[in-house]
Structure 1
């Protein structure tokens, strides 16, 4: 019923609350309240150790717990809509928190999870470098360029990063190769990936991704979906084919909304 369900929108790296507004508005139009959360770039780097990232997780955990308890006898539920690996890891850190706090019973109140432009369920320096480069460069990054309506020749040009972006990617890749090998960081992130791989709530999952994604290749997403299906999860998906990373709603609004509608009806 109206007011019994809230969607938690977990933004991509570099996202601001205003970027999640269109998603929240669509849910609101369906009588679903929306909470939006974004993680500043420097804070994400502290996810492997106890730092600012965990404070964001604690705040969100407290807010969700309070909301679920506010229904009294009326049981309230929550839906997650995550973007890129940042939103997905944030979701995993929340599930980890529920388990640590002995609140596993609350996972039965999670009714579904929509994953937009993800995940890459391995610690890949290339994926992390690509994500940070895109967040730094924003619309200047080659990974944000849409391929819609272009000739094959134009697509070939856009498929290559500029010299400055190539340099930035090389520097970031070296940085993440070191950071992701730090034992504390590696252990924490591996634990979150393990929870997301085998201890997710038994609710339906929808993956909206793209073969043209240059940040998280479609093969990563498809590999993870196969793993979830084999583990008995109900998985649905849609490949947007030519829209860039976290740009599917802007590129194809009607198609995006159609996937969400279908997911809810099922």
Structure 2
């Protein structure tokens, strides 16, 4: 499915045998910038082995849409029919599994498409390599996404486009910093603060991240996690690595990653 020139894909997978205690919990996985469904399917398979139904969604949020905390609904409209069908039984709850900052922008779009009452159905969330202050990650995100958006462009052209987009982003960040200082509400404009203060994230949370992450700094993720605890009373679990790369924690430590997810799922069900 195409949004302008930007692809998206929505896939629902159901296990061969749905465990009774997991029948009211569905997993919604939202991929990182540059993620392909084949990559995300490795994560949904973790949940399928546990007897859980999952919806996985990949989409390339444009750099223009990333200038603001409020992302248009069109980026997640393709997943609406499948999501609404899964949530038709009123007892169904969502476990979100987010990857990198692309998923935070996609969440903003998702709430615009479905409506803010979607978060009433959210029971828990896994944050893999996210959230981090976006100004520090934008350049690396462009390295992932520009070659997809401009497949025929050579290295020099891509470098020129990146420079131009970064300068526009600098101007936008400057404007946002002034407006935030004036009204004291950065969540109106900056996705990092929007996610923490306005998205009504579920209070059962698992953070998986690394000191070596070169895209989303671990200090920023830690600050977000701690703010969720102090500001919202979130119940938080953490899996912190020293040497795994951005969104490569499962690939580097598959057994520990999987066992931590299963422990978190059991905590969700028990509560």
Q: CA deviation at 1:93?
A: 3.3
Matches within 5 A, 1:136-215: 173-180=166-173, 190=189, 192-199=191-198, 200-215=200-215
Q: 1:57 aligns with which of 63, 76, 95?
A: 76
Cα separation, 2, equivalents of 1:248 and 1:166: 29
Structure 1 residue runs of 5 or longer lacking an equivalent are: 139-164
Residues 92, 193 of structure 1: 8 Å contact kept? no
Q: TM-score, normalised by structure 1?
A: 0.73
Q: CA deviation at 1:45?
A: 3.1
Q: Secondary structure at the match of 2:54?
A: strand
Deviations 1:17-39 (A, max 9, x none): 11101101111111111111111
Q: How many residues align?
A: 228
- Check if 1:15 corresponds to 2:35: yes
Q: CA deviation at 1:14?
A: 0.7
Q: CA deviation at 1:8?
A: 0.9
| 1:54–1:202 Cα change, 3 Å | closer
| 1:117–1:18 Cα change, 3 Å | same
Q: 2:92 aligns with which of 52, 70, 76?
A: 76
| 1:265–1:86 Cα change, 3 Å | same
Q: CA deviation at 1:169?
A: 7.0
Deviations 1:76-131 (A, max 9, x none): 11111010000122123334555xx4x52x423211100100111x341x311122
Which piece of structure 1 moves more, 9-18 or 32-41? 32-41
| 1:23–1:112 Cα change, 3 Å | same
Q: CA deviation at 1:260?
A: 0.6
Q: TM-score, normalised by structure 2?
A: 0.72
Residues 66, 105 of structure 2: 8 Å contact kept? no
**What root-mean-square deviation, in Å, do the aligned CA atoms of Structure 1 and Structure 2 show?**
3.3
Give the equivalent residue in structure 2 for 1:90: 106
Q: CA deviation at 1:201?
A: 3.8
Deviations 1:166-196 (A, max 9, x none): 999766543421354577xx98972654442
Q: Secondary structure at the match of 1:82?
A: strand
Deviations 1:13-67 (A, max 9, x none): 01111110110111111111111111125x3533557x99531223334532332
Residues 126, 206 of structure 2: 8 Å contact kept? yes
Cα separation, 1, equivalents of 2:134 and 2:43: 28
Residues 78, 109 of structure 1: 8 Å contact kept? yes
- Check if 1:66 corresponds to 2:100: no
Residues 5, 33 of structure 1: 8 Å contact kept? yes
- Check if 1:25 corresponds to 2:45: yes
Say which structure is richer in strand. Answer: 2
Cα separation, 1, equivalents of 2:80 and 2:168: 30
Structure 2 residue runs of 5 or longer lacking an equivalent are: 1-19, 149-157, 181-185
Q: Secondary structure at the match of 2:229?
A: helix
Q: 2:124 aligns with which of 65, 88, 112?
A: 112
